[in-house]
Amino acid sequence: MLRCAWLIDTVGAKGAASEISAIKIAVPASAQWVVDKAIGVHGAAGVSADYPLAMLWAQARSLRFADGDDPIDTSLEWGVRVMGKPVHVEAEGDLPAEATADVFPAYDDDGGLLLVLTPKR
């Protein structure tokens, strides 16, 4: 996030577009994860009116609807593959490029994802 803020300050929002896009996905998901863990620590009290955690969880979850579904959420929630999603890739030091993304759920201990990027020719 700090890099994104620095880029916005130095090169403007247009120059930080890829970082802004990443933050729009990462921050709401991270906020929901943190609140979910706090609810777990508090047990049943975490979803009661005694603590604001249930309200915070609902707000964090609703933030994830703002930009619509993304392939990562779809794969995580439903365990489905997302194939052939057109994406715009901007890697540091490289020219922007168009690619196709294939997202596969990884059925291993860390529950990660396999992301395959195929350059568009």
Domain boundaries, the chain: 1-68, 69-121
Q: What is the reported pLDDT for 74?
A: 57
Q: What is the reported pLDDT for 9?
A: 92
Three-state secondary structure of the chain? CHHHHHHHHHHHHHHCHHHHHHHHHHHHHHHHHHHHHHHHHHHHHHHCCCCCHHHHHHHHHHHCCCCCCCHHHHHHHHCCCEEEEEEEECCCCCCCEEEEEEEEECCCCCCCEEEEEEECC
In the CATH hierarchy, which fold is given to the domain comprising 1-68? Butyryl-CoA Dehydrogenase, subunit A; domain 3 (1.20.140)
pTM above 0.85, yes or no: no
Q: What is the reported pLDDT for 53?
A: 92
Q: What is the reported pLDDT for 68?
A: 61
Q: 25-39: per-residue pLDDT in tens?
A: 778 888 888 999 999
Give pLDDT < 70 ranges for the chain: 67-83, 105-113
Q: What is the reported pLDDT for 41?
A: 93
Q: What is the reported pLDDT for 42?
A: 92
